[in-house]
Structure 1
Amino acid sequence: MRKLTVLFYEPDQVTNELFESLCRALKQAAMARKLKSIASTARYADTKYSAGAGQGLKLGGAKLVLGHAPGVIANVPVPVLTSDKTTLAFYPDRVLAFQGDAVGAIEYVNLSAVSSAVQYIECESVPSDARVVDKTWHYVNKKGGPDRRFKNNPELPICAYSQLNLSTPDGLDVRFIGSKDGGFNALAHALSAVLAAHR
């Protein structure tokens, strides 16, 4: 119990409404059938061998829940976003960031939340909530069609996915990708509203 931190909040009406909106948006984003964190990216020098993609993503685990941060108990459940290396817990007054044994506090005014539409080449089964917008092949020719030199050259769907980038000027950079088109829009909007209220 000596390592357990207890937080108690009695927010005013405006703060409470913003926080409830943030919780609803998190639940909505968490409904994506495929949800991953982006561990790293890499540029492809030759797109012929990468299904035409100019950039590759290394994906990791992701979890979006209403609950409690590691070692912290509050009188209200809070939005918790977890990637492979970082856990972000969103409280009414600030964000707590956990990386390994380290924890830091982030003021909302220093947090940027951006939701964007991305096209993702799906090499696994297409999630039920994904929207297929185009197709490509594992090996492509200069015109974008299938490279006939390769016998095993499966057709791959290109899906409209959503990406959420959370960052700070101090170097925090946490990114998530989800299979539902626009699935992070409400969450980014809710975070922007909380940010505006803290200015």
Structure 2
Amino acid sequence: MTPTALTAGGFLALGLMAAPHYAMTCGLVFSGTQPHARQPAPACGRCVAVALSARQLVLVALGMLTAGVGATAGAWLPIVMMSLAAGLGLWVALDRLRSRSAATTRSIAGLGAAMALLPCPVFYGVLGYVVLTGDVLQGGLLAGSFALGSAVGVALVMIAASWVAPRLSGRVWPRLRAGMTAAGLLLALGLAWGCDWGRWLCQLG
């Protein structure tokens, strides 16, 4: 694939194809941020918007950074991403402990950013082609297009969770929410652990 063949529409389509993957990782984790079943629907919509907006911004920034720095980013970018994701995850956990309630707006945004920073083999493949552009703005556009397409799966899972929540008892929903979060996080961490650090970008770049 040449740089001239890299289009926003193509990367949007790639994102849509990857939507099930992100639904089973980010979607399940973000569903754990859904408010209590008795809270109104707008609160659920706010969770979806905040989480996906933070994820989108981080993925666009990663695309811009990779396109600007080039293939040398493969040597250090995954480790930096993992470190930032761990720091944000710890901050989100502490924020939840302090609030002792449903996730706050800042913790939802932090979780969205942290999940975007987790090394992902699917997004690594995208960055491997983004680096061919050598242009910061185009790199951000392509990464953002992919992120937008892949967000469809995440949004559907979160919307489904907000629809299910009011139909469950006050005891069942918190347990189900915790289970979905744990399952999505374990799957995401498992995929991140299995990544071949850096080689994805160096080979394609």
| Alignment TM-score, normalising by the size of structure 2 | 0.29
Question: Per chain length, whose mean CA-contact separation is higher, i.e. which structure has more relative contact order (CA < 8 Å, sep 6+)?
Answer: 2
| Alignment TM-score, normalising by the size of structure 1 | 0.30
- Normalized per residue, the structure richer in helix is 2
- Normalized per residue, the structure richer in strand is 1
